[in-house]
Every structure is written in structure tokens, then in C-alpha cells.
């Protein structure tokens, strides 16, 4: 449901949790006691209202949100492969999530998460949900990256206010100034998301058609399309026009390249070679 969707997602646990309407609850690792308490209350109430709670399994707000929604279904999006849970201290929490929820990763088995995998992972947290609630966030924090992705993806952005003297509220107060919905209660989230409950998340971009079964590029087509690609992102539409191949064939070639780890997808249906 996002522009630069991964070619596949590896899921462990109950895939049913992925079919619930979902809200991401994210925030600071070094959260305050009040922030943790609020995240728990919010995640529990959202779970009771029928939402899956999505987060990133990190310390602080993320872990508190997962714990409070274990019984109703919670989804953790990993930055590494399924055999590299990060942080290590949350291996048990990850196991507990499997009972009613799911662990999701776009990374291959064996992939150890690096620093740059986390912002990349955040686009999946926002992409999987109808709305994202930022509970506590300093300026320039990872949660704000997730909020930016959410905006680009047309998801609802919610933020929990805090004292102007609390640096952990700078990011969330800024989000509210920029138009995010102020949240003091799960009801604030539900009131906005109820109209889309039960319906699929609205797409901003058009959903790509599935490649026609049997569409199989020949050697010449494949070479022409690869030759059109380089490190500079180009629109997929241009590849179709310039290669003379059908959109379905172009998509198959791009998928092959992506599975081989040679393609990078950008926002706005742009792609480049890695």
C-alpha cells in the first residue's frame, strides 16, 4: 500500500492480525514514566476497540505499546531478519507477540540490522497502518521520520501533547502545530479512523496491476530495460515509454532486479539501480 513497497514481507505469527485495522503507536526510547503509562493506556484502549497496534519493538514507548496490546493483537516491524531480533532484550517480548500478533520483516533471514535499516523500516510501520500516534518525541527523532513517512503515504498523523518545557514533547508539539491531531485519549484516534474502519486504507497512488500471468520478458527486453536504469531515480512510466515493453513486462523485470537486491524504489514510483 506504499510507493516503495518491498517485493515481499516475511511474517511470523498470526497473519489474521495483519487484517485488522491498524494504528501505529511509536515514540521515544528514553520515554518518561508518564509517556510509558500513556502509551500503555492508549494501546490497550485501541486494542479493545478492535485495532491492531503496530510498533518497532524498540525500548520505551514501542515496547510499552506492544506489551499493552499482546492480548488484542500487536505487530512488530523488524529492521533485521527474523533471526536477528533487536534489541536482544526483547526476544521474549517478540515471542509473546506471536500468540495473537505478528512479526514482520522485509529483510532476508540472517540480515543483521544496521543503523540505516531503522529509518527504512519505519516506512513499513506507517505503511501498514491507517494512522500513527507519536507519544513522545524529541526534535529530529526517529518517530518523526515515521510521521513524515505517514504523511507522504496519506496516513493520519496523531500526536500526544506535552509541556513546552519537556524536551521529549518538542517533536509531538511541533507535529500538532503542523496539523497533526492532538490526542489525549484513544477516542480521539478512533473518532478520526472510525469512518475508514472495515474499509481498506485509501491509496494515494494507484495500485499497480499484478503482472499478467505468463508475462515473461525475453532477453532483449530485459537488457533494454536494465540499460535504461542507472543510479539516478527515474519514473517507471518513462521506462515503459522508452523501452517499448508493456507495463507488465517492465514490472516483472523490476521485480527480478529487486529480488536480486539490485533495485532501489523511491517515492513517486521512481526506481534506480543500486
Interaction between residue 160 and a second copy (CB under 8 A): yes
Interaction between residue 37 and a second copy (CB under 8 A): yes
Interaction between residue 161 and a second copy (CB under 8 A): yes
| Number of residues counted as binding a second copy (CB under 8 A) | 20
Nearer to a second copy, 107 or 169 (CB): 169
Q: Which three cell numbers stand for residue 272?
A: 534506480
Among 115, 163, 195, 261, binds a second copy (CB under 8 A): 163
CB neighbourhood size of 262 (10 A): 13
Determine the interface stretch with a second copy among 31-39, 44-52, 90-98, 145-153 (rule: CB under 8 A): 31-39
DSSP state of 110: T
Nearer to a second copy, 179 or 213 (CB): 179
Interaction between residue 38 and a second copy (CB under 8 A): yes
Interaction between residue 167 and a second copy (CB under 8 A): no
Distance CA 104, CA 83 (A): 12
Q: How far is CA 147 from CA 94, 120, 247, in A?
A: 24, 13, 32
Rounded to 5°, the CA angle 58-60-62 comes to: 50
Interaction between residue 34 and a second copy (CB under 8 A): yes
Nearer to a second copy, 97 or 176 (CB): 176
Min separation Cβ 28 and a second copy, Å? 13
**Residue position matching grid coordinates 533471526:** 83
Nearer to a second copy, 32 or 69 (CB): 32
Rounded to 5°, the CA angle 125-112-70 comes to: 40
Interaction between residue 192 and a second copy (CB under 8 A): no
Interaction between residue 176 and a second copy (CB under 8 A): yes
Are 88 and 58 within 8 A, CB to CB?
Answer: no
Interaction between residue 158 and a second copy (CB under 8 A): no
Min separation Cβ 207 and a second copy, Å? 34
What DSSP element (H or E) covers 77? strand 74-77
Q: How far is CA 264 from CA 48, 218, 268, in A?
A: 39, 23, 12
Strand-pair category, 74-77 with 10-13? unpaired
Q: Which residues bind a second copy (CB under 8 A)?
A: 34, 37-38, 160-166, 169-170, 173, 176-177, 182-185, 188
Amino acid at each position: 500500500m506504499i510507493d516503495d513497497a518491498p517485493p515481499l514481507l516475511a511474517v511470523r505469527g498470526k497473519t489474521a492480525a495483519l487484517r485488522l485495522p491498524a494504528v501505529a503507536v511509536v515514540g521515544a526510547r528514553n520515554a518518561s514514566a508518564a509517556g510509558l503509562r500513556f502509551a500503555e493506556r492508549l494501546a490497550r484502549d485501541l486494542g479493545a476497540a478492535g485495532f491492531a497496534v503496530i510498533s518497532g519493538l524498540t525500548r520505551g514507548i514501542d515496547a510499552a505499546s506492544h506489551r499493552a496490546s499482546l492480548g488484542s493483537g500487536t505487530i512488530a516491524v523488524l529492521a533485521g531478519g527474523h533471526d536477528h531480533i533487536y534489541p536482544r532484550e526483547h526476544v521474549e517480548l517478540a515471542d509473546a507477540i506471536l500468540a495473537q500478533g505478528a512479526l514482520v520483516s522485509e529483510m532476508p533471514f540472517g540480515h543483521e540490522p544496521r543503523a540505516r535499516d531503522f529509518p527504512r523500516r519505519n516506512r513499513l510501520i506507517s505503511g501498514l497502518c491507517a494512522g500513527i500516534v507519536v507519544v513522545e518525541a524529541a526534535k529530529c527523532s526517529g518517530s518523526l521520520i515515521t510521521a513524515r513517512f505517514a504523511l507522504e503515504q496519506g496516513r493520519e498523523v496523531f500526536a500526544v501533547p506535552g509541556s513546552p518545557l519537556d524536551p521529549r514533547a518538542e517533536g509531538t508539539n511541533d507535529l500538532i502545530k503542523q496539523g497533526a491531531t492532538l490526542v489525549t485519549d484513544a477516542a480521539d484516534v478512533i473518532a478520526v479512523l472510525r469512518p475508514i474502519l472495515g474499509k481498506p486504507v485509501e491509496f494515494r497512488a494507484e495500485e499497480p496491476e499484478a503482472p499478467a500471468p505468463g508475462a515473461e520478458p525475453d532477453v532483449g527486453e530485459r537488457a533494454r530495460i536494465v540499460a535504461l536504469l542507472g543510479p539516478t531515480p527515474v519514473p517507471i512510466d518513462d521506462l515503459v515509454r522508452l523501452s517499448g515493453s508493456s507495463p507488465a513486462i517492465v514490472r516483472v523485470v523490476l521485480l527480478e532486479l529487486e529480488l536480486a537486491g539490485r533495485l532501489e524504489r523511491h517515492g513517486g514510483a521512481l526506481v534506480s539501480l543500486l
